[in-house]
């Protein structure tokens, strides 16, 4: 994931003894950069929870309202991915800066625009896997390694629903109807994306249970074949 190369406005800008024009230019851009960072910081302080020192769930809700998206929208998740936010529901200053400066979005208006581009960026195959895995890890609670079925189903709808609607809806149906599995682990999560990409749906004709697919997917395919 591309990170913003300039962390904060106060970082030293390398000065070289070159022509005066480039110096001017550098001064000009550094000024622009620090201006941007200022505005980003201002935004942060606008939504920050004073007692926590970071943007909390309510802050995020109001932020979403301002931007004009639902707080359960996948785009806020994408934003979190861009920020590499660690804890679900909270953004620290560093994360906030990281995400928004990478987007070059320092006003609400710009954020609104950039979010569309962000969507496209995430959709690229190289990024999508990363985003998909991030979504899983982001949803984990403290010290947890697995997500319970309910949350997994919701997350799947959000993250994959628009791309593989048929597979996701069927898989969710299966997960809700079975009793063998109470949680989903990362291996199963990643394998499902691979499943969606590689296996013909709903024919399932190129699925081979003898291969290294996780057992949950073997059982899912069996269930599909029985209930067709």
Partner 1 sequence: MEEKTLKDMKEEEIRKMEKKTLKDMKEKEEKEEEMRKLELMLSNIEIKGLSNETLDGIKCMTLYTDIYIVATDSNQVFNAKMYSKYKEFHNDYLNDIVLPHLRLHHGEFLLKEFETSWAHYSKVIHNRLHLYFRYLGRYYVAREKLLNLNDVGNRCFIDLLYEEMRSRVMDAVICLINKERDGAKIDRELVKKVVNVFEELKLYEDIFEERIVAGTKDYYSKKASLWISENSCPEFMLKVEECLEKEENMVRDCMKPATEQKIVSEVEHKLLVLHSTQLFDKEYSGLKKLLEDGKVVDLARMYRLYSRVHDGLQHVCLAFKNHVTAQGMALVRQTEIEVNKHVVKNDVGALQNQQVHLIMEFIKLHEVYLSYVNDYFQSNSMFFKVLKEAFEVFCNKSIAGVSPAELLSIFCDQTLKKKSCDNDKSTEDTIDDVVKLLVYISDKDMFAEFHRKKLARRLLFNKSDSDEHERYLLTKLKQKCGRHFTSKMEGMVTDLTLCQDTTASFTDYLRDNPDMNPGFDLTVTVLTIGFWPSYKTCTFNLPPEMLRCVEAFKQFYQTRTKRTRITWLFSLGTCTIVGKFEPKTMDLIVTTLQASVLLLFNSANRLSYSDIKDQLDLPEEDVTRLLHSLSCAKYKILKKEPDTKTISKTDYFEFNSMFTDRLKRIKVPFPLVDDRKKVIETVVSDRRHAIEAAIVRIMKFRKVLGHHQLMSECAEVLSSTFRPDFKIIKLQIESLISRDYLERDSKDHSVYRYLA
- Token duo for residue 200: 């013909």
Asked if 187 touches partner 1 (CB under 8 A), the answer is yes
Q: Candidates 39, 191, 196, 204: give the one binding partner 1 (CB under 8 A).
A: 191
169 or 219: whose CB is closer to partner 1?
A: 219
Asked if 215 touches partner 1 (CB under 8 A), the answer is yes
216 or 224: whose CB is closer to partner 1?
A: 216
Give the rounded distance of the alpha carbon of 76 from its chain centre: 7
Q: Please give the residues from 56 up to 115 whose contact with partner 1 meets the rule CB under 8 A.
A: none
Asked if 127 touches partner 1 (CB under 8 A), the answer is no
How many residues are there in the chain? 228
Per-residue DSSP letter, 13: P
Q: Candidates 34, 158, 214, 223: give the one binding partner 1 (CB under 8 A).
A: 214
Taking CA atoms, 191 is separated from 133, 198, 217, in Å, by 11, 10, 8
Asked if 194 touches partner 1 (CB under 8 A), the answer is yes
Asked if 173 touches partner 1 (CB under 8 A), the answer is no
Asked if 140 touches partner 1 (CB under 8 A), the answer is no
Which residues are CB-contacts of 91 (< 8 A; sequence separation ≥ 6)? 44, 54, 55, 59, 60, 80, 83, 85, 99
How far apart are the C-alpha atoms of 101 and 198, rounded to whole Å? Answer: 36
- Token duo for residue 144: 């947890």
How far apart are the C-alpha atoms of 199 and 224, rounded to whole Å? Answer: 13
Asked if 30 touches partner 1 (CB under 8 A), the answer is no
Q: Candidates 50, 210, 226, 228: give the one binding partner 1 (CB under 8 A).
A: 210
Number of residues that bind partner 1 (CB under 8 A): 14
Residues lying near partner 1 in the complex (CB under 8 A) are found at 145-146, 185-188, 191, 194, 210-212, 214-215, 218
């Amino acid at each position: 994931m591309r990170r913003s190369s300039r962390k904060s406005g106060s970082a030293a800008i390398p000065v070289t003894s070159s022509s005066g024009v480039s110096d001017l230019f550098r001064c000009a851009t550094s000024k622009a950069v620090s201006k941007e960072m200022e505005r980003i910081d201002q935004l942060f302080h606008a939504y920050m929870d004073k007692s926590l020192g970071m943007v909390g769930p309510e802050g995020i809700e109001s932020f979403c309202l301002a931007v004009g998206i639902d707080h359960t929208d996948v785009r806020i998740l994408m934003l979190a991915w861009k920020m590499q936010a660690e804890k679900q529901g909270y953004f620290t200053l560093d994360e906030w800066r990281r995400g928004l400066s990478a987007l070059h979005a320092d006003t609400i208006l710009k954020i609104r625009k950039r979010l569309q581009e962000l969507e496209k960026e995430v959709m690229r195959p190289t990024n999508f896997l990363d985003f998909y895995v991030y979504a899983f890890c982001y949803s984990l609670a403290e010290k947890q390694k697995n997500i319970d079925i309910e949350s997994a189903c919701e997350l799947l709808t959000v993250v994959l629903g628009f791309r593989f609607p048929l597979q996701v809806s069927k898989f969710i149906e299966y997960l809700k109807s079975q009793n063998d599995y109470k949680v989903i682990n990362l291996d199963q999560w990643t394998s499902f994306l691979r499943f969606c990409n590689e296996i013909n749906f709903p024919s399932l004709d190129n699925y081979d249970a003898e291969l290294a697919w996780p057992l949950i997917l073997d059982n899912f395919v069996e269930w599909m074949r029985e209930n067709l």
